[in-house]
Chain A
Amino acid sequence: MTLILMNSSKGGVGNTFLTAQLALHLAGRGHDVTAVDFTFQDSLKMHFGFSPEQRVPEIGCPISEDLVAFGISLRQGHAEARREDFWLRLRAGELLPNGPHKLTIVDLASEDRQLITMLSAYCALHICTLTPTASTLATLPKLGQERPVVALDHTVFVLNQIDDRYRLCRHSTAFVRDLFGEQLIARIRRDEAVNEALARFEPIAKYAPHSATLPDLADFAVMVEERLGLRCEPGSGMLGLGDQP
């Protein structure tokens, strides 16, 4: 099982949206993906077309209770992560999907630092979502409590909601690009259609198939594949998992 953590130093930056889109794009490229929502908001499901009242099965529930959309298995982990035996069960392999070809993408709330720290020990890739805003950039140092942010292991960044019409946005984008170099694996342009698609319980690809955000999201998924060593199996038309880092 390959674990991908998605979180940010600040809430409201589109981390849940990118978690959903990464899951959709990787599933569309042939991977066996599970998306787990560890946030109290429980809104990841909306990006897969489910309404707020739709119940999502907890991690650890039998596979017969699976909620599947677009080939992705959806799970909720907020309550489970607060149970006393969470870590015992996680380490025992009872909670997250097992198997060498399983990809699990986890949406974590920015303030859930303890869970982020503990899960990061198990993850293959830790993706931090940023936006080119003063309030987000100001929280960046919070990620570097133990090591400088630019020296964090298997940690990469994605800059979301870029709108080049604004000067501070352009400067922030350049700053982040300079700061993180190859650690910045994707830049996603801002499009109000993302918000509108969510309000219609529709994927952005269906609601706005010509959105400028879509090719950026596709590039993001490809970069994640490269970072994880996922590779295309020639002739099969499917993607397979390479050696895990």
Chain B
Amino acid sequence: MRKDTAHLLATLSQPEFRYREFQYTFYVNSGWGLFSALLGDPRLLGRAICTEKIQLLGDDAAQMTETGPDPIEAAPLLERYSVPVTPPVEQQRAVDLRGFFTSFSESE
């Protein structure tokens, strides 16, 4: 396990976090949004690593996934069949995997 990762897990006092080293991260920065979406899906890697990622991304990302109902879900039923409901710009942001991996590089 890399030193920075070990330090992070120790800092978070979360020894049960699942650790997986990604060696070929170029695909994340290649514009394929699918990889970021999959890495953010708890059914794939488990909730623990997602929490870890959110911690690294800071409060904004945590709010993005933890606050309030989905604006589309919250919209009145008939509205969903008329004018498309557009989420606020802040909530349209994709999970910042580039920043996630960059943070590892900078901490070395």
Contacts and interface: CB of A to CB of B under 8 A. Distances in A.
B44 A175 contact: no
Chain A interface size, as a band, is: 20 to 34
A145 B26 contact: no
Contacts of A142: 43
Interface stretch (A33-41, A118-126, A176-184): A176-184
A241 interface: no
A141 interface: yes
Interface in B7-24: 18, 20-24
Interface residues of B, number: 21
Contact of B44 (A140, A167, A181): A140
Contacts of A141: 38, 41, 43-44
B27 A174 contact: yes
Interface stretch (B29-37, B61-69, B76-84): B29-37
Closest 8 A-B residue pairs measured CB to CB?
A: A171-B27, A148-B46, A144-B43, A174-B24, A141-B43, A178-B22, A141-B41, A149-B44
Interface of A: 134, 137-138, 140-145, 148-151, 167-168, 171-172, 174-175, 177-179, 181
7 contacts: A140-B38, A142-B43, A148-B42, A148-B47, A149-B44, A150-B45, A171-B26
